[in-house]
Amino acid sequence: MAFRTKNLFEKTTKLVRSYSSDKIYTHMSLTLNEQTGIATLELAKPPVNSMSFGFLSQLAAAVQQSEADKYKGLIITSRSSGVFSAGLDLKELHHPDSDRILNYLRRLQDVWFQLYDCSTPTAAVINGHSIAGGCLLALSCEYRVMVNSFKIGMNEALVGVPVSPMFIACMQSVIGQWEAEKALLVGRLFTSEEALGVGLVDEVVGGKSEGVCKAEGYLAGFREVSARARGLSKRYLRQEVVRDLVRRREEDVKKLVEIISSRGVQDSLGEHLERMKNKK
Ligand SMILES: CCCCCC/C=C\CC(=O)SCCNC(=O)CCNC(=O)[C@H](O)C(C)(C)COP(=O)(O)OP(=O)(O)OC[C@H]1O[C@@H](n2cnc3c(N)ncnc32)[C@H](O)[C@@H]1OP(=O)(O)O
């Protein structure tokens, strides 16, 4: 169910609703604190912020907006108190229409490139479980604060889907090759505390507001730094990963569509969906 946010923010904040003349954010809200120049993107697609086509499009628009309007920082968090994001919408992957899945995965690639490569300083406040695509979203930010007692990781091995190169590159760049191998090959989900131990997140906190304060602190650290120099340095630091994935993006997406559409993977996805239904 899509819902709209009410404008209940303090005077210094502005709810940035429209990103083009005819669209509004329905799966998230983007709020700019005009005093600090830091915007908060709050994911709000109940129940689990699964990344449908529409969700990815809005995420892309919000990131674009943060660059175009030169925000001093972007904090990504969730309106849900239990889930940051459950990752890709499993319904998009199960029994997919061949054109739609191709476009869906291309959209995912576009969003990832935009976020990973954006010059805006980014931080994730992970205030709930953050699975697979949800973990990718957090890892694409520069800094991660996680609320205690949740789970984060890439569980593709358990879903029966291969981990895609984009997800692998992101995990490797944050926790290194060996830890990434150990985690990804078994689809390990880390508790917040374990995630801190391997460097998957930078801090663990007791609640969302504490997390937001920490993220604001990280972003405020760039107040005295030239935004242009900082943005370029970030791009240079990340360019090797981006270049390789851009070069192979079409090859990767076509291969993944072929794999995801195969009988074996579709059976595994069906079983995963069934397990989720039956857990209640
Ligand atoms: C070019 C790049 C190609 C990349 C290819 C990438 C391939 C895979 C990447 C992925 O991201 S696959 C997605 C993997 N995610 C999961 O397996 C998460 C599964 N969900 C959970 O573990 C739990 O839901 C949760 C997130 C821990 C939350 O648990 P909670 O108990 O709070 O909620 P539930 O009762 O389990 O779920 C509520 C409701 O949401 C539905 N749902 C959950 N996750 C998804 C999802 N990812 N997509 C769609 N729907 C989801 C779940 O079925 C429940 O529905 P109802 O039964 O209420 O209808």
- The CATH number that applies at residue 239 is 3.90.226.10
**Pocket flag, ligand 1, residue 50 (CB < 6 Å):** yes
Q: What is the mean pLDDT of residues 136-162?
A: 97
**Pocket flag, ligand 1, residue 184 (CB < 6 Å):** no
Percent of the chain whose predicted confidence (pLDDT) is above 90: 90
Residue 159: pLDDT over 60: yes
Among 48, 102, 107, say which to mutate for ligand 1: greatest number of ligand atoms within 8 Å of CB.
48
Nearest to 98 by CA among 253, 273, 274, 269: 253
Q: Please report the pLDDT score of residue 216 as a whole number.
A: 98
Q: How confident is the model at residue 16 (pLDDT cuts 50, 70, 90)?
A: low
- Structural domain including 18 reads 13-278
Residue 251: pLDDT over 70: yes
- Residue 102 domain flag: yes
- Residue 5 domain flag: no
Alpha helices by DSSP H, 40-97: 53-68, 90-93
Tell the residue nearest (CA) to atom 39 of ligand 1. 47
Residue 90: pLDDT over 70: yes
Distance 89 CA to ligand 1 centre (A): 7
Specify the ligand 1 atom closest to the Cα of 151: 27
Nearest to 36 by CA among 12, 53, 15, 54: 12
- Residue 2 domain flag: no
Q: What is the mean pLDDT of residues 110-118?
A: 97
Q: Please report the pLDDT score of residue 134 as a whole number.
A: 98
How many residues would you count in the chain?
A: 280
Candidates 33, 73, 155, 269; catalytic one: 155
Concerning whether 49 is annotated as a catalytic residue, the answer is no
Q: What is the mean pLDDT of residues 13-40?
A: 78
Note the pTM of the prediction, 2 decimals.
0.94
- Residue 4 domain flag: no
Among 45, 90, 191, 245, say which to mutate for ligand 1: greatest number of ligand atoms within 8 Å of CB.
90
Distance 195 CA to ligand 1 centre (A): 20
Q: What is the mean pLDDT of residues 70-90?
A: 97
Q: How confident is the model at residue 17 (pLDDT cuts 50, 70, 90)?
A: low
Concerning whether 88 is annotated as a catalytic residue, the answer is yes
**Pocket flag, ligand 1, residue 136 (CB < 6 Å):** no
- Residue 122 domain flag: yes
Q: How confident is the model at residue 9 (pLDDT cuts 50, 70, 90)?
A: very low
Nearest to 78 by CA among 20, 29, 39, 37: 29
Chain mean pLDDT for the chain: 92
Q: What is the mean pLDDT of residues 129-147?
A: 98
Task: List Cα–Cα distances, 197 to 45, 96, 191, in angstroms.
Answer: 30, 38, 10
Nearest to 147 by CA among 217, 199, 77: 77
- Residue 110 domain flag: yes
Query: How far is residue 55's CA from residue 45's CA, in Å, rounded to a whole number?
Result: 8
Q: What is the mean pLDDT of residues 215-228?
A: 96
Q: Please report the pLDDT score of residue 19 as a whole number.
A: 46
Q: How confident is the model at residue 12 (pLDDT cuts 50, 70, 90)?
A: low
- Residue 267 domain flag: yes
Residue 14: pLDDT over 80: no
Q: What is the mean pLDDT of residues 40-49?
A: 97
- Residue 125 domain flag: yes
ipTM above 0.95, yes or no: yes
Concerning whether 133 is annotated as a catalytic residue, the answer is yes
Q: Is 15 exposed, middle or buried (0-12, 13-18, 19+ CB in 10 A)?
A: middle
174-217 pLDDT, tens digit each: 999 999 999 999 999 999 999 999 999 999 999 999 999 999 99
DSSP 138: H
Are residues 34 and 14 in contact, defined by beta-carbon separation less than 8 angstroms?
Answer: yes
**Pocket flag, ligand 1, residue 276 (CB < 6 Å):** yes
Q: Is 54 exposed, middle or buried (0-12, 13-18, 19+ CB in 10 A)?
A: middle
Are residues 30 and 46 in contact, defined by beta-carbon separation less than 8 angstroms?
Answer: no
Concerning whether 92 is annotated as a catalytic residue, the answer is no
Q: How confident is the model at residue 280 (pLDDT cuts 50, 70, 90)?
A: confident
Residue 117: pLDDT over 70: yes
Count: domains in the chain: 1
Q: Please report the pLDDT score of residue 190 as a whole number.
A: 98
Q: Please report the pLDDT score of residue 4 as a whole number.
A: 34
